Chain A
Amino acid sequence: MPVQAQDVLITPELPFLEFDTGSEFVFIERNQDPEARIPDFFSQTSRQCPPFCVQPMSAGEGVETVGELEVLAFLEEHVAKGTGVLIDARLREWYDRGTIPGAMSLSFTTFENPDSNPFLVPVLQLLGGEQANGAWTFDDPLELTMFCNGPWCGQSHRAIENLLSVGYPPEKIRYYRGGMQGWLSVGLTVVTPAGS
């Protein structure tokens, strides 16, 4: 079909992904420029550790670690239908510089000190939690996929640990360990959120 012809497909069956959330059109493809290279920031290999330490593959028992294709499937199956949220767990300033289309900014700092953090209450309610007598229950929580800058970034890992500590069901959480590094390394679309 010449109208949609592309050279750089995501997979042979998936040249690109598009969906409409009802308020936003989201389009994701791989960069079609054969000269494109990963941005300089993400070509850096050596950052001081801590804090930029290599992360384990698992973010917690029962939490699924996913790759780019699973993130795309998640966007189509859950974000497009309002049953899930793709969370960019980096600080807002990072999100503003460029993020995965369809992602919501919820910085890892939002999830810190869950027992005494009043700012976390509305966030957990937004995600489907109910609080009674100081304890959280999650009967029908949103599906989550969380990411940060990549395998050397512990921010989403830390956010997931805090979510698990308040009882968020692990089977409802996915960890995209590749993060922005992985996303950009295969040339997938990045957006600068409106108003940033």
Chain B
Amino acid sequence: MRYTISKTIAVSAACLALQPVMTTQPAAQSTQIEASDAEKRKLDYFASKIIDDLAVLSTEGDTDSGNSVVQGHVRHFVGAAREADLNDAEITRYFLDIFTTQHSGRIPAVMVGSNGSMDIDNFLFGDAAVNRETDDAADYVDSLRLNESGASN
């Protein structure tokens, strides 16, 4: 059974883009996202994992392994959201709602775009999954080349 869950969005992505450290919360706005209880539990689980990962990166500094862990949870979160039929805008709002109320301190580099501002679209939907797929494909092609090379010797 599906029903409507009210979500309060504390801040927009546009506001966050100019703010590398979260110190205050702009005025709230509201939206509504439809999800079942089970879907919401799953979304909240992965969102909280991301928040935990970001807290570690924020306090202990950015590391490749830390970034890898948070990107893994982002993929699960986005995957769960898509299974719940949320579109990208709803996924972003859902995450931002939790992020802006539960994260404090420095915004980790993994969330910051090349222009120095927070890039939530890239964080949630960007290079993590795409690059991973490209890398996997490249590894596979490399392994074929190596095998061919070995066979010809």
Total A-B contacts with CB atoms under 8 angstroms apart: 50
Tell me if B75 and A25 are in contact (CB < 8 A). no
With contacts A33-B65, A34-B65 taken as known, whether A2 is within 8 angstroms of B41 at the C-beta atoms is no
Tell me if A4 and B42 are in contact (CB < 8 A). no
Q: A27 to B41: give the CA distance in the assembly, Å.
A: 11
**Residue numbers in A under 8 Å from B79 (CB-CB):** 3-4
Tell me if B132 and A2 are in contact (CB < 8 A). yes
Q: Which chain B residue shows the least CB distance to A7?
A: B68
Tell me if A20 and B42 are in contact (CB < 8 A). yes
With contacts A2-B129, A3-B75, A4-B76 taken as known, whether A25 is within 8 angstroms of B42 at the C-beta atoms is yes
A32 lies within 8 A of chain B by Cβ:
yes
Q: Is the interface of A mostly helix, strand, loop or mixed?
A: loop
Tell me if B136 and A5 are in contact (CB < 8 A). yes
Q: A7 to B135: give the CA distance in the assembly, Å.
A: 12
With contacts A3-B75, A3-B79, A20-B41 taken as known, whether A32 is within 8 angstroms of B132 at the C-beta atoms is no
**Residue numbers in A under 8 Å from B45 (CB-CB):** 25, 27
Q: List 6 A-B contacts (CB under 8 A).
A: A3-B76, A3-B82, A3-B129, A4-B79, A25-B41, A32-B68
B69 lies within 8 A of chain A by Cβ:
yes
Q: Which chain B residue shows the least CB distance to A189?
A: B49
A6 lies within 8 A of chain B by Cβ:
yes
**Residue numbers in A under 8 Å from B76 (CB-CB):** 3-4, 27
Q: Which chain B residue shows the least CB distance to A3?
A: B79
B72 lies within 8 A of chain A by Cβ:
yes
A18 lies within 8 A of chain B by Cβ:
yes
A35 lies within 8 A of chain B by Cβ:
yes
Q: A46 to B4: give the CA distance in the assembly, Å.
A: 55
A2-31 Cβ-contact flags toward B at 8 Å (1 or 0): 111111000000000010101011010001
Q: A143 to B125: give the CA distance in the assembly, Å.
A: 42
**Residue numbers in B under 8 Å from A27 (CB-CB):** 42, 45-46, 76
